[in-house]
């Protein structure tokens, strides 16, 4: 006679330690009137990628990677199990129309912000093209916006050779009047990864550019602190845009545009912690992870760790 059943219909067979709270357990589907500390939305779009990319699959992979982390920080001797993460789900993009999809992303981020349900927000891409509609929504909601961009590339390509792509978000924002050049700081720009024309564009528009040589010589944390102080005097809100290809390929193999000579995973996490500690930082996007190119979800797990550094601050 069977006294106990170990069948769990509809539930995964996952070990549960009664003393451990995993970060994924904090995700709460948003419902009208609900409030929390962090708002989360997926922007699963990668059809604007210059190279073949399945970055549209990244939001679900990054969410799943949150189960690898607990809410307790031993370094701070603090448990963040009471932090509520409201999940607004993933935006349904159009199957074929690019501009329609960009509009949907813009409308959805704006709608999330208008709920006024959270203190800070995380947008999970998708390729870097999703930053264009997302940052526009933040600008419209909060006012003058400043951006700190972690990236190997300037992402200010011309729009004549293919329209809006994952290489054009900051050109689109600046030329469209949504972002002033002097309110953009680019960190981790890699050598032999950009064209002279786009280097000249950053100078013309007054963009603050920090190359990997700058990171090596000055250190990434002093650079972040300097830009936070500078931008906070110019803008109402600061937005962090994290292109994961800023990280060296040894630590982030799941990026479509991997390359050597990038920052380490520790530099990424430490710099996000420093940036997120500023009161004017309200949003962060994480982009350019292709789970199909990843190894044991290394890149998605690093993105999840970056989320923790942003949320638990």
Question: Could you tell me the CATH number of the domain that includes residue 180?
Answer: 3.40.800.10
For residue 235, which of 181, 160, 159, 290 has the smallest C-alpha distance? 181
Answer whether residue 8 is part of any domain: no
pLDDT at 28: 96
Answer whether residue 4 is part of any domain: no
The DSSP symbol for 286 reads: E
Answer whether residue 156 is part of any domain: yes
Cβ neighbour number for residue 246 with a 10 Å cutoff: 27
Answer whether residue 3 is part of any domain: no
- Tell me the two tokens of residue 213: 């040589």
Answer whether residue 107 is part of any domain: yes
Answer whether residue 18 is part of any domain: no
Answer whether residue 2 is part of any domain: no
The parent domain of residue 160 ranges over: 23-311
What Cα–Cα distance (Å) separates residue 42 from each residue in 60, 99, 277, 292, 299?
8, 18, 23, 18, 17
- In angstroms, rounded to a whole number, what is the distance separating the alpha carbons of residues 156 and 85? 33
The answer to whether 120 and 309 are in contact (CB under 8 A) is no
pLDDT in single tens digits along all 313 residues of the chain: 556 677 888 888 888 899 999 999 999 999 999 999 999 999 999 999 998 899 999 999 999 999 999 999 999 999 999 999 999 999 999 999 999 999 999 999 999 999 999 999 999 999 999 999 999 999 999 999 999 999 999 999 999 998 898 999 999 999 999 999 999 999 999 999 999 999 999 999 999 999 999 999 999 999 999 999 999 999 999 999 999 999 999 999 999 999 999 999 999 999 999 999 999 999 999 999 999 999 999 999 999 999 999 999 8
Answer whether residue 9 is part of any domain: no
pLDDT at 83: 96
- In angstroms, rounded to a whole number, what is the distance separating the alpha carbons of residues 99 and 80? 39
pLDDT at 197: 97
Q: What is the CA radius of gyration of the chain?
A: 19
pTM value is 0.96
pLDDT at 7: 81
pLDDT at 205: 98
Buried b (16+ CB within 10 A) or exposed e, 14-45: eeeeeeebbbeebeeebeeeeebbbbbbbbbb
Structurally, how many domains does the chain consist of? 1
Q: Measure the N-to-C terminal CA separation of the chain; round to a whole number of Å.
A: 53
- What strands, in cross-sheet order, belong to the sheet with 208-211? 27-29, 85-90, 38-43, 120-125, 281-287, 237-243, 145-150, 184-189, 208-211
């Amino acid at each position: 006679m069977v006294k106990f059943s170990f069948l769990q219909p509809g539930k995964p067979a996952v070990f549960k330690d009664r003393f451990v709270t995993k970060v994924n357990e904090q995700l709460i589907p948003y419902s009208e009137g609900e409030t929390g500390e962090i708002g989360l939305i997926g922007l699963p779009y990668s059809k604007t990628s210059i190279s073949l990319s399945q970055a549209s699959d990244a939001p679900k992979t990054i969410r799943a990677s949150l189960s690898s982390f607990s809410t307790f920080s031993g370094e701070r001797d603090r448990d963040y199990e009471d932090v509520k993460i409201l999940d607004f789900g993933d935006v349904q993009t159009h199957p074929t129309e690019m501009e329609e999809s960009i509009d949907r992303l813009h409308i959805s981020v704006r709608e999330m912000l208008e709920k006024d349900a959270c203190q800070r927000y995380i947008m999970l891409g998708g390729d870097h093209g999703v930053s264009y509609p997302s940052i526009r929504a933040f600008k419209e909601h909060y006012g003058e916006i400043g951006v700190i961009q972690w990236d190997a590339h300037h992402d200010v390509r011309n729009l004549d050779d293919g329209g809006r792509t994952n290489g054009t978000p900051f050109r689109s924002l600046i030329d469209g009047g949504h972002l002033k050049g002097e309110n953009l700081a680019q960190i981790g720009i890699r050598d032999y990864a950009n064209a002279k024309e786009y280097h000249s564009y950053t100078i013309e528009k007054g963009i603050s550019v920090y190359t990997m040589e700058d990171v090596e010589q000055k250190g990434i944390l002093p650079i972040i602190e300097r830009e936070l102080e500078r931008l906070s005097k110019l803008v109402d809100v600061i937005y962090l845009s994290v292109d994961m290809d800023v990280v060296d390929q040894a630590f982030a193999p799941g990026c479509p545009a991997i390359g050597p000579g990038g920052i380490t995973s520790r530099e990424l996490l430490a710099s996000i912690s420093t940036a997120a500690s500023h009161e004017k930082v309200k949003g962060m996007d994480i982009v350019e992870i292709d789970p199909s190119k990843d190894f044991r979800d290394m890149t998605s797990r690093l993105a999840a760790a970056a989320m923790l550094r942003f949320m638990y601050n």
